[in-house]
Homo-oligomer: A and B are copies of this chain.
Amino acid sequence: IEEDNQQGVAELLEDLHPADIAEMMEDLTMEEAKFIYRLLDGETASDVLVEMDEADRRRLLRELPSEIIVSKFIDFMDSDDAADVVADLDEDQQREVLNEIGDIEQAGDIVDLLEYDEDSAGGIMAKELVKVNENWNVATCLKEISKQAEEVDEIFYIYVTDDDDKLKGVLSLKKLILSNTNTKIANLYNPEIKKVITDTRQEEVAEIMDKYDLVAIPVVDDIGRLKGRITWDDVIDIVREEAERDYQMVSGITGDVESSDKVWPLIRARFPWLMVGLLGGIVSATILKTHGDSLSKVTQLAFFIPLIAAMAGNVGVQSSSIIVKTIASGVKDMETPTRKLLKDISVAFLTATAFSVLIFIYNFFTAGDLRLTYAVSISLFIVILFASLFGTIIPLVLHKFKIDPALATGPFITTMNDILGMFIYLGVASLFFNLG
């Protein structure tokens, strides 16, 4: 397609949406991508950059001089996107780029935004918003809004502040249009407004906006001054990221890979948890080795090793993913810890009973040795009980120590419970066959 036919390519690009161009870029080499960027106007180029995959973007930025980054991208961006781009650069380049920005106000906004933790409301908000003073009237407002609106992609809400820039309330564009031009804003706005503070965690922001169906939420500092706003598209990204991280954890994949990725990233994403599984398998083998006598005397014991391991693993993954999801949803639990523990124990107890009865019935009719039947049922009972409690407790403990509880889903809990399962199974079996 691309034989330096500048004219043709430029025409082709004109009809495409920035998001489509960004998607296309991912399949191109660095040289081809640079060639495309040269053909795009600033507005489009900056939109494409925002839509691009983070890793690709970082690589591209590293190759560009600071003047180009500013004149081609930063100048056309909203403050939140600009701050993201600057944050991706190394420190020297950051300073260069910031000094290159002509508009001192924009540079200041970016510096402000870089101060905040990137997972906090401050880190994801944009400085661009439309605000009016409560003492103005409708006519002044409309004039002021058309001035401010140039910098803002979509207005959504108009925020009302007092003389100290403290957030007082919100006003819809609809209401403003339908009101008499002499009416004072103070009489129009809605003072009941949901807002977040700059250091609110981004997950909490997403929850609030989702719960109250807000298309944008204002961000204030500790003393209530309006600092920025977060819009719905940021929230979708948070929800998606969160869900994806949990999904990857439970599947035992590290990093964000898709089947269209190259061979090497795919292997790298799989390796760590498979390594954990391998080490777990070696530990299990060692446990079995110490019971080598029992196994050689009663070969039938070996038959149920996969069953015990599978049940231990599955129960553990279920328990851990239920509790991780509950922690993530952030719902304050009304249940007291004791009642909660009692309930978890009853669920585990009933599940354990059901499945050990089932396997008892099966073995009763198929296995010759009644001792084996007892040993398998009883150890399955104990294994399910412990696997279930471990699955619940370990994520809770991790959460307590501020470690991501999702770490303890998937292969981690499966491996732990495999080992636990072997330990219990052969311990119980030894008792039954007096092989201690």
Q: Using CB atoms and an 8 Å cutoff, list the residues of chain A in contact with chain B.
A: 17, 19, 27, 142, 145-146, 149, 154-156, 172-174, 177-178, 194, 210-213, 215, 232-233, 235-236, 239-240, 243-244, 246-248, 250-253, 257-260, 262-263, 266-267, 270-271, 273-274, 277-278, 280-282, 284-285, 288-289, 292, 295-296, 299-311, 313-315, 317-318, 320-323, 325-326, 329, 331, 333-335, 340, 343-344, 346-347, 350-351, 354-355, 358-359, 362, 392, 409-411, 414-415, 418, 421-422
Contact = CB atoms under 8 A, between A and B. Distances in A.
Contact of A314 (B142, B172, B323, B414): B414
Contacts of A262: 343
B282 A323 contact: no
Among A250, A252, A285, A358, the one with the most B-chain Cβ atoms within 10 Å of its Cβ is A285
B252 A314 contact: yes
18 contacts: A19-B212, A146-B177, A247-B325, A250-B250, A258-B325, A258-B326, A263-B350, A267-B347, A277-B314, A281-B308, A284-B307, A284-B310, A288-B302, A295-B302, A296-B296, A296-B299, A310-B313, A310-B418
A247 B321 contact: yes
Nearest to A256: B325
Given A212-B19, A304-B285, A263 B311 contact: no
Contacts of A306: 280-281, 284-285, 288, 305-306, 309, 418, 421-422
A210 B308 CA distance: 44
Given A239-B243, A271-B354, A309-B309, 19 more contacts: A19-B213, A145-B177, A154-B215, A213-B233, A232-B232, A235-B236, A248-B321, A251-B318, A258-B325, A260-B331, A267-B347, A271-B351, A277-B314, A280-B307, A280-B310, A288-B305, A299-B302, A305-B309, A313-B313
B321 A251 contact: yes
A16 to B, nearest CB: 11
Contact of A253 (B172, B273, B281, B322): B322
B351 A274 contact: yes
A246 to B, nearest CB: 6
A219 B343 CA distance: 47
A310 B309 contact: yes
A355 B278 contact: yes
A420 B432 CA distance: 30
A314 B273 contact: yes
A281 B267 contact: no
A410 B248 CA distance: 12
B278 A307 contact: yes
A155 B173 contact: yes
A300 B285 CA distance: 9
Contacts of A335: 260
Nearest to A145: B177
Contacts of A308: 281
Contacts of A305: 288, 302, 305-306, 309
A273 B346 CA distance: 19
Among A142, A213, A259, the one with the most B-chain Cβ atoms within 10 Å of its Cβ is A259
A358 B278 contact: yes
Contact of A318 (B270, B281, B282, B418): B270
Contact of A240 (B215, B243, B343, B422): B243
A232 B215 contact: yes
A422 B296 CA distance: 19
Nearest to A146: B178
B334 A307 contact: no
A322 B409 contact: no
A313 B101 CA distance: 54
A311 B295 CA distance: 22
Contacts of A284: 303, 306-307, 310
